Amino acid sequence: MSMDITIWLRDVWKTYVDGERVVTALKGVNLSVKRGEIVGIQGPSGSGKSTLLKIIAGIERPDRGDVIVEGYNLNMLDENGLAMLRNTVVGYIPQDLGLIEELTIYENIELPLLIAGMPRNERRARVLSVMEYIGLKGKEKAKPSRLSGGERQRVAIARALVNTPTIILADEPTANLDWSNAVKVLELFRKIRDDFNTTIIIVSHDPRVMKYTDRSLLMCDGFLSENKLLE
Ligand SMILES: Nc1ncnc2c1ncn2[C@@H]1O[C@H](COP(=O)(O)OP(=O)(O)O)[C@@H](O)[C@H]1O
Ligand SMILES: [Mg+2]
């Protein structure tokens, strides 16, 4: 495998059993992403996009197939190994953002560094520098509920970025934004890639988002393929 492949999946399957309901969310997914690439994954609701991101992030495990992320074979990692992956390699931004409403913006962004055991002074320098970079300076003491949708999305991006991940996985990052704010978020992802050579996967049901990616794929009923809708 070439060194500049950062994410590699082969024949990945995932089935959920929920009472009587059995859903196969991923049906033999193959994927290969190069370092510094921004890949878009478009597809309708329920097609398996979030499941795919969670498997790459090490939040869900596949039933079958290989997942290699930054050289780690995720099937070989135990729960501690997957937690290490999430704390160091991957910045995962869930669709609901997962911000903690009781904490300030500063504290939300600091949380991954606390978990990583970074000393207080280093944490402070790192959080303030990321907040400045993302354009959140001055919002340190605000609570998430006081911010606009675009600002909340930026806090979630800052929290994902604070541990200097080499990969960012963003689940529907524009779903709750009007289009002009959506474009600002998409341009921020491009800036992050240009500045840090971060590999980024952006999942969205919105075909307009795909124009802001280098390459787009289509997820349909658990199958991932080239996106021919845009050509
Ligand atoms: N934890 C779960 N338990 C049961 N079914 C699930 C679970 N997560 C997802 N699914 C099902 O798997 C399919 C794919 O879901 P998902 O990956 O969330 O798709 P998308 O993100 O494209 O909307 C859907 O039918 C969904 O209902
Ligand atoms: Mg989803």
Please name the residue whose Cα sits nearest to atom 16 of ligand 1. Answer: 48
> Does residue 208 lie in a domain region?
yes
- Supply the CATH number for residue 70's domain: 3.40.50.300
Kindly give the number of the ligand 1 atom that is closest to the alpha carbon of 45.
Answer: 23
Distance 10 CA to ligand 2 centre (A): 21
Quick one: 109 and 215 in the same domain?
A: no
What is the distance of C-alpha 160 from the center of its chain? 8
Mean pLDDT by 10 residues, the chain (231 residues): 86 95 96 97 97 97 97 96 93 96 98 94 97 96 95 97 97 95 97 98 96 96 81 46
| Residues, beta carbon < 5 Å, ion ligand 2 | 49-50
Residue from 17, 29, 50, 59 to probe ligand 1 pocket by mutation (most atoms less than 8 Å from CB) = 50
Do residue 16 and residue 70 come from a single domain? yes
Contact (CB, 8 A) for 207 and 43: no
Q: How many domains does the chain have?
A: 2
Q: Is 184 inside any structural domain?
A: no
pLDDT at 39: 98
**16 Cβ closer than 6 Å to some ligand 1 atom:** yes
pLDDT reported for residue 231? 46
For residues 8 and 77, state if they share a domain.
yes
Q: What is the pLDDT of residue 227?
A: 74
Containing structural domain, residue 9: 1-89+167-178+195-231
pLDDT at residue 163 in the model: 94
Contact 24, 14 (CB under 8 A): yes
Distance CA(152)–CA(149), nearest Å, equals 5
pTM: predicted TM-score of the whole model, two decimal places: 0.95
Q: Whose CA is nearest to atom 25 of ligand 1?
A: 46
Q: What is the pLDDT of residue 230?
A: 53
Q: Is residue 21 part of a domain?
A: yes
